[in-house]
Structure 1
Amino acid sequence: MTARVSVFERPATQRGTGGYGVTLRSIRKEFGSSVAVENLDLDVRPGEFLTLLGPSGCGKTTTLNMIAGFLTPDGGQILLDGQDVHQLPPDRRDTAMVFQQYALFPHLTVGQNVGYGLRMRKRPKEEIRQRVAEALERVGLAGHEDRLPSQLSGGQQQRVALARAIVVQPKVLLFDEPLSNLDLKLREQLRLEIRHLQRELGTTSIFVTHDQTEALVMSDRIAVMRAGRIDQLDTPEKIYREPANAFVAGFVGQSNLISGVCMEAGADRCTVQLPTSDFVYARHTGTVTKGDDVRVLLRPEALRLGGESAATSLTGQVVEVVNEGSIATVVVDIAQDIRLRVTVSDPAAMSLPVPGELTTVSIPPGAARALPTD
């Protein structure tokens, strides 16, 4: 008997590079007098999972829709695999979109929804049947072909939408906040499933979200957007550990940001005077010079409670304690309107302070980072 070959399978030498590179050059998009995207440059590598992260109105969904062909840029170039696609309609760009609202046809079965794109491409019926079955198996919905969308949960409907996108074997997968309508546990499960599937297929993927956790967990790289521009493009670790500015630091992860003045600066370190008149020794990226106003980033998990040895210790009053079992957050009100959040990783191993109690917050060496003001 001849072995059955999966229509999704590629030779091992091609796995992980099954997608197009995507290049944006000086992209601009206006809506009336409002500029949604301004002179945006971006290179997405073949097979990469890149996330556009930012607050509402930053231009991330507009950028995604221009790549898909649903919106036309007012300036600049969009290149897929090195070719300008400005004149190509969405169905000729070799991309597929997974939408926030699922966008399933309610009168069609699951199998018919998934196979819709293949029917539009006039593929043979047997090929459609095989590819639909395999796509549904990949998303954990084998055997659901004959159900209607109304008979499925929200998570199952989103899996159908994902299967519909991958069944056409696009070179670029586009995700427009596909998990935002799901509950927390289902989001956590599906984000890992989507990432696993993307790695397995090797399809270039661009994922839009305002959820920092999704971006950190799923991405090869993250582009943090603000006001139609990219503030920083880097790996999740560098975005978190080495934010380019105070906006990125405040948007990604929990953060304490304190204003200060750089008193002395070296190549990558500086001494910052805080409003409390205390001094903290902070790392920087080479953009801080003596006399500059800066924002000092202190991640809550890097701080310590109590009088342990540290370069800088700040004393204040505990205003709130939130114990979540595996971790606890202690909020300490320091003088001059400085309020610090401190994460305690093992609250059962220590006696937590109580609101109203005085405590010391220690800043260990290397924990502070000086960022230029926006």
Structure 2
Amino acid sequence: MTARVSAFERPVTREATGGYAVTLRGIRKQFGSSVAVEELDLDVRPGEFLTLLGPSGCGKTTTLNMVAGFLTPDSGQILLDGQDVHQLPPDRRDTAMVFQQYALFPHLTVGRNVGYGLRMRKRPKAEIRERVAEALERVGLAGHEDRLPGQLSGGQQQRVALARAIVVQPKVLLFDEPLSNLDLKLREQLRLEIKHLQRELGTTSIFVTHDQTEALVMSDRIAVMRAGRIDQLDTPETIYREPANAFVAGFVGQSNLIPGVCTEAGAVSCTVRLPTSNVDVHARHSGTVAAGDAVRILLRPEALRLSGDSAANSITGKVVEVVNEGSIATVVVEITADIRLRVAVSDPAALSLPAPGHVITVSVPPGAARALPTGK
């Protein structure tokens, strides 16, 4: 007997795409006098989980809604699998959206909510039953077909919304901050569940969030947006370790950004004079820093080390606060009246933490500092 292949396990194809599942070229959208998205270019690979990350008002949800067809760009081109979809309504774009507010029909059962898109596509009843049951099993809600949304928890309702999206087997899954209404523990759980399901299905996915942790945990690549443009597009590791500018460095992850002046610059590194006791710090840069430039030094708290003695590539200051959370502690060190440095201690139980008022030296290990041009 030939084994039945799940309807969800169709291969990801690249024909007629130029290598990309979603392509945006020169997309612009303006609301009145406010420009929401400005000349945005973006390519999303087949099967990729790409996150649009940024603060409120940066244009990420507007971009997602233009891909879905809920908004029409003022100019530019949107292609799905190489097809220009500018004239196509949302229901003909082969996309599915998972919304922040679930958007479930309260009077319909779970099964009928999940099968709604298939009924609109006039699929046979037997096929609808089979695909609904399979979708619910995949999101961990098998046997919940006859319940109403009001009888479910928030996490279960979000799983129903996810099942409703995947049951139509879209080429592109779109997520509009789907976890923002859930408590922390549930968000952490569903992050992994959504990512595992996306990998299993191999569906190209675009995820919108302002939560940096979600982006870092879930994404294959992240597009960090600001003022309607993409500041950096890369893997989570690269964006965290090698941010393109001070905005990305400050938005993604915990960071110390200290002003300084480059006194000597090489091809990949430079020496930066900090505004405290003529301290010099050696830092990496991206090739855009020259001697005499004002810069900001990025120091991730977890990369720094507490030490009792001054040493090369180190900064001395006074401890003003110690926050011990058990598994991790944060020591806040005042460098000047305007500059404070946060140092993360991963195993505070194994280290005698300094008390407030104590003068301490913070050492900067080789490669831990990154120099970023000021104002970019």
Which residue in 2 is equivalent to 1:64? 64
1:6 Cα deviation from its structure 2 partner: 2.3
Confirm or deny that 1:231 pairs with 2:231. Answer: yes
Unmatched runs of 5 consecutive residues or more in structure 1: none
Distance 1:308 1:121, change over 3 A: farther
Confirm or deny that 1:354 pairs with 2:352. Answer: no
Which residue in 2 is equivalent to 1:241? 241
1:4 Cα deviation from its structure 2 partner: 4.4
In 2, are the aligned partners of 1:51 and 1:208 still within 8 Å (CA)? Answer: yes
1:72 Cα deviation from its structure 2 partner: 0.4
In 2, are the aligned partners of 1:283 and 1:369 still within 8 Å (CA)? Answer: yes
Unmatched runs of 5 consecutive residues or more in structure 2: none
Which residue in 1 is equivalent to 2:103? 103
In 1, are the aligned partners of 2:54 and 2:210 still within 8 Å (CA)? Answer: yes
Which residue in 2 is equivalent to 1:344? 345
Distance 1:308 1:195, change over 3 A: farther
2:8 aligned partner, one-letter code = F
In 1, are the aligned partners of 2:14 and 2:81 still within 8 Å (CA)? Answer: no
Mapped to 2, the partners of 1:171 and 1:208 lie a distance apart of 17
Which residue in 1 is equivalent to 2:112? 112
For residues 63-120 of structure 1, the C-alpha deviation after alignment (integer angstroms, 9 at most, x for no partner) is 0000000000001001111111000000000000000000000000000000000000
Aligned residues: CA RMSD: 1.5
1:337 Cα deviation from its structure 2 partner: 1.6
Mapped to 1, the partners of 2:309 and 2:221 lie a distance apart of 37
Mapped to 2, the partners of 1:259 and 1:3 lie a distance apart of 63
Which residue in 2 is equivalent to 1:79? 79
2:82 aligned partner, one-letter code = G
In 1, are the aligned partners of 2:270 and 2:282 still within 8 Å (CA)? Answer: yes
Distance 1:342 1:155, change over 3 A: same
In 2, are the aligned partners of 1:17 and 1:203 still within 8 Å (CA)? Answer: no
Which residue in 2 is equivalent to 1:91? 91
In 2, are the aligned partners of 1:295 and 1:373 still within 8 Å (CA)? Answer: yes
1:183 Cα deviation from its structure 2 partner: 0.5
TM-score (norm 2): 0.96
- Matches of residues 42-61 of structure 1 in structure 2 within 5 Å? 42-61=42-61
2:320 aligned partner, one-letter code = V
- Matches of residues 292-331 of structure 1 in structure 2 within 5 Å? 292-307=293-308, 310-331=311-332
In 2, are the aligned partners of 1:310 and 1:363 still within 8 Å (CA)? Answer: no
TM-score (norm 1): 0.96
Moved more, 283-292 or 101-110: 283-292
1:313 Cα deviation from its structure 2 partner: 2.0
Which residue in 2 is equivalent to 1:190? 190
1:356 aligned partner, one-letter code = G
Mapped to 2, the partners of 1:79 and 1:206 lie a distance apart of 14
Distance 1:162 1:310, change over 3 A: farther
Alignment identity in percent? 87
For residues 225-244 of structure 1, the C-alpha deviation after alignment (integer angstroms, 9 at most, x for no partner) is 00000000000000000000
Which residue in 1 is equivalent to 2:27? 27
Aligned residue-pair number: 371
Mapped to 1, the partners of 2:67 and 2:311 lie a distance apart of 50
